[in-house]
Structure formats: C-alpha cells, structure tokens
Chain A
Amino acid sequence: MDRSFDFAFVPHAPLEVLNCVADVRSDRAELWFACKSPIVASQKVALALGLPLGKVKVHVIRAGGSFGRRLFFDPAIEAAQISQAIGRPVKLMWTRIDDMKHGRMRPASHHKVRATHLLGAMLGYEHRMGCVRFDGGHGLGEILTAVGVELTGTSGQALFNLTQKVPYNFGIAAQTLTEVSLEFHTASWRSVFSGQTSVVNEIMVDEIARSLGRDPVDFRRRTLSSARAKAVLNRVASTGNWGRSMPAGTAQGIAVHDEFKSVCAYLVEIDCRNAANPRVTKATAAVDVGRAINPRGLEAQAQGVVLDGLSVMLRAGVHIDHGAVRESSYTDFRYGRMNDSPLDVAVHVMDPTGEPGGAGELGFPAAAAAVANAYARATGTLPTSFPIAG
C-alpha cells in the first residue's frame, strides 16, 4: 500500500504577540521578555550589540502560551538593536499581522508511506518525510550548541532520529527525514515532528486495518508493541463506547501516541453532515504519564490538544501566495473557537505505572489523528492534505 500526505505551514499564532523591553547602554544591556531559552538569548543579543557575553542581563517574565514560538527571541534582538541605535529604552510589540505574515511556523511537509502486508501479516513499514528545513537555531539553550546547529544545519535530523518511532509490530519499520532549505522561518510547534509523522502513521494504521478488513481498535490491540499503549487504547474504547451505532455522516475515530515516556489514546466523534463545517462533537482521552503529579493540569493539557488537533487537521493552515503569507489574523487563520469545540473532553488519567513522563506535547498527535480517522470513516474519503478545508 502506498499513500502520501501533505501538511501546510502552521504558525504558532500565540495570542500574546511577541514583545520585549530593552534598555541598552554603552557598556551593558538589560532586557525584559518572555523566553524559553534566556541563556542563548542573552548571548545572541550580546553578539548583535557587540557587547561582552556577560554584559547582557535577561529578565524572564510571564507571558501567554506560545506552543514553541518563544524558543526563539527575534523581538529581543530587534528591541536591543533599536535601543542601541536611539540611545533610549525601547518597548517593542509585534502586531498580529507581523506575527502571522513574518513569524515562524511549523514546517510544511510531504510524506510518502509504503506498508507491506501478506496474508494478513505486516512485513514492513516505510515512512519518508520531506519538509522545509526545521530551524533549531536556539540549540539546547546556550551558545555552543546553538552555533553547532547553525554550522551543521543538523538539528532537524538529530531531533527526528532521537524522537521518531513506530510503536507497532509492523515487521521492518523505517522512518527518514529529508529537509529542503527554503530560508523559511520555521520552529518547533507543539509535538514537533510527531505532530506530522505520528499523525500520518495513525492514519495509515486505520488504512491498513481497512484494507485487511479489520476493526481499527482490534487491529491496534494485536499490533501495538507495548502493554501501556494497549491499556490506554482499551480505556478509551470502553469509556468512549467504541463501535456504537451512529447516524450516516457521523463517525468515531481513534488514535494512539507513544512518546516522552508516556502514552495516550484519543477517541473522537465527528459530525460531517454539514460538509463545509465538520464539527468534533465529543472526545475521550486516556493518558498514562507514568505518574501524574498535577492531575487537573494534566487533564487541561489533554483537553487543550483536542482544539489544536481539530484546528490543524480541519481548517487552520496558511497559504503562500507568490512568496507571501496570505493569512493575516484570526479571521482567515481559522483556529478553533467555542463553536468548533466538543461540548466535553473526558480525560482518564491511568493509574501510576512508573516515573513521571511528559504531558504537554503528548496528546496532540493522537488527538489530531483521531480527528482525521473519524473524518475518513464519516465521509468514506481518506483525507491526504491538511488542513482538509484547503
């Protein structure tokens, strides 16, 4: 079986725009801004200003969620350069349009997958991802790895090879990444590569099951390689009432994701009877993060990714027209709102299975894939280009 898939660029669109206050003097600088990598930020600002590395002080302040965007600190360098040029403290705020048209984005990608099966058994699974070069220019948060990344351009390959896996007994499995340098401003976006690779894999699991005449849950039960993954799958299948009778044009979809020493499953229901505006009507999640430290916070993370999943898969992406971003604000970048969201997202936190794993980026791939799988089952059409709305 050969299938291919495409994902559009997706901006982070942090509701709080990028901003920074900078006070640059002749021998030192002080900056106030929200940042996930303040050490390399202070070092890069020092380089931009021609100051010694130890003479830039960064005050990290609270800010609205950025979903990966504030790993980079572009506005800090801009504010510092402006303050240096005019000799006064500067408060810089990007506009929403700056952010949407000139900000960073999840790299657009193309995926080719070949799944080989014989007599009902999987023999091999090959997934090749091509994407616009992923920028990890912040390194591991300090200047040495940041320079290493810049010199070698290998942050994407390293991260891909460290994180990507196929959590199924699919015979010989291989996944590769090929990056194309288009000088595009990219960055990590919630779940990074898994937000595309794992989503594709979970859509393919449904496709393989369909070609074998197998139920998607039953097929996963037989092929998932870990007991923890099977446990979360079984939990959403039972509590979400998998296989219940539903009207034509509506359907359930299911998906699993295994990463960060954690595992989760999502079961969503979608209503596609209004073809122009499909709506996710219900979602059930089961999360095993090893040990939940803050269950209400974990539940919030597991709920929030449903909004990300339905937005990115159904209607939110940007278009590039003659080299420029078409979208400019939340009017045309159609991220989900209240009337797109399921009335409830039930989250089941599994009993402790070990030491704490990750939670914030865990759910997005499974939530997104479950939306796509539900859409495919509701409409009888395999979606291959995301967002589905075009």
Chain B
Amino acid sequence: MPSFTFDLNGEATTVDVPADTPLLWVLRDVLGVTGPKYGCGVGVCRACTSHLDGNAFQPCTTPMADCAGREVTTIEGLADGETLHPVQQAWIEEDVAQCGFCQPGQIMAAAALLASNPSPTDADIDAIENVCRCGTYCRIRKAIHRAAGA
C-alpha cells in the first residue's frame, strides 16, 4: 500500500492507504480526527470543510494522493494553542450552534473567507454553501461580521 506524508495541523503525518482514499476517511477512520463531518460524501453539504494550504476544501471529495506534501488544517488545528481563532470566539459570543454537527465546517468556511476577504459583505457571506439543517444562518452571518470587526 502506498505511503503518503502531509502536514496535519502543524505536524508531519504519514499514512499507508490506497491513493484514491478520500482524505475524510483518512482523517476520521485512520487518524481519529473527527472534527470534519460526513454529511454527503459528494462535496455539497460541506460539513467536512477544512483548509488545504490555507484554502477551504472538502476532504470527502479529495483523494489522499492530492494532499501529499501539503498542509491540511482541520477545526482541531484552527486555534493557536489555548487562544481561540477570532471566528471561534465570535461563534461563542453569538451563541451560533444549535445541534452543532455542521459547525466545524461552517467555522472553517468562515475562517477561509475572512483570510481572503477581511471585510465581507452580506453578498460575500451568501457565497458560503455549507448546509445547516437547524437554520443557524442568521447567527452565522452575525458571527462572521463580528469576527471581521475584531
């Protein structure tokens, strides 16, 4: 079985898996990193949203081979040690989560948006396609604006 090395949340990580294994299952089943969630497996619910070299991506549709030698950040690696990322802090202050299942992906999508666009408009925020079945969107929007102003 081929071996792949990549940077996961700041640590060099090596796994032996078939090259076409979706990264989501490498993270969840091989490495026990369960922040990225399975909701569809085809990149449309976006509950697994994480960062690849700093950009939002969906590990459920990204083969392991495409991540070799690159930097993967999941929700587990977003905070700076004990200091929460501004988006995480805004999420707490706006009390965004209901059931919470989509929220790691929502936070990673928001963090990637703010990294490329520090002052997003409501139309920019509308471009986030992550599904929230509880309907927390109005609080997500407020939290993104709050984090942008932080």
Q: Residues on A close to B: CB < 8 A?
A: 13-17, 63-65, 67, 93, 95-96, 296, 300, 303-308, 329-331, 335-339, 341-345
Contacts and interface: CB of A to CB of B under 8 A. Distances in A.
B127 interface: yes
B138 A303 contact: yes
11 contacts: A15-B37, A15-B39, A65-B101, A95-B41, A303-B135, A306-B135, A329-B44, A330-B44, A338-B125, A341-B141, A344-B141
A17 B37 CA distance: 10
B141 A338 contact: yes
Contact of A338 (B47, B129, B133): B129
Contacts of A63: 99, 101
B128 A338 contact: yes
A300 B100 CA distance: 12
Nearest to A346: B138
A17 B98 contact: no
Contacts, number: 104
B70 to A, nearest CB: 27
Contacts of B41: 95-96
Contact of A96 (B45, B130, B135, B137): B45
A338 B140 contact: yes
Given A65-B134, A304-B135, A338-B128, 14 more contacts: A13-B133, A15-B47, A15-B102, A15-B132, A16-B37, A65-B98, A96-B39, A96-B40, A303-B139, A307-B137, A330-B45, A331-B44, A338-B130, A343-B141
A335 B127 contact: no
Given A17-B38, A65-B99, A65-B101, A304 B134 contact: yes
B68 interface: no
Contact of A330 (B98, B131, B135, B139): B131
A41 to B, nearest CB: 20
Given A15-B101, A341-B137, A331 B42 contact: yes
B53 interface: no
A296 B98 CA distance: 11
Given A16-B101, A65-B98, A300 B133 contact: no
Given A16-B101, A338-B140, A307 B135 contact: yes
A168 B126 CA distance: 39
B61 interface: no
B1 to A, nearest CB: 22
Interface residues of B, number: 33
B40 A330 contact: yes
A64 B40 CA distance: 14
B5 interface: no
The SS class assigned to the B binding surface is loop
A335 B98 contact: no
Interface in B112-150: 122, 125-141
Top-5 shortest CB links A-B: A307-B135, A64-B101, A65-B99, A304-B135, A339-B126
Interface in B16-61: 37-42, 44-45, 47
A65 B133 contact: yes
Nearest to B137: A341
A48 B87 CA distance: 47
B95 interface: yes
A270 to B, nearest CB: 16
Nearest to A343: B122
A336 B136 CA distance: 11
Contact of A67 (B129, B133, B136, B141): B133
Given A96-B39, A329-B40, A304 B136 contact: yes
Contacts of A95: 41
A15 B133 contact: yes
A314 to B, nearest CB: 14
A373 B128 CA distance: 29
Contacts of B98: 65, 300, 304
A14 B132 CA distance: 10
B95 A335 contact: no
Nearest to A279: B126
A101 to B, nearest CB: 13
Contacts of A331: 42, 44
Contacts of A17: 38-39
B141 A303 contact: no
Nearest to B105: A15
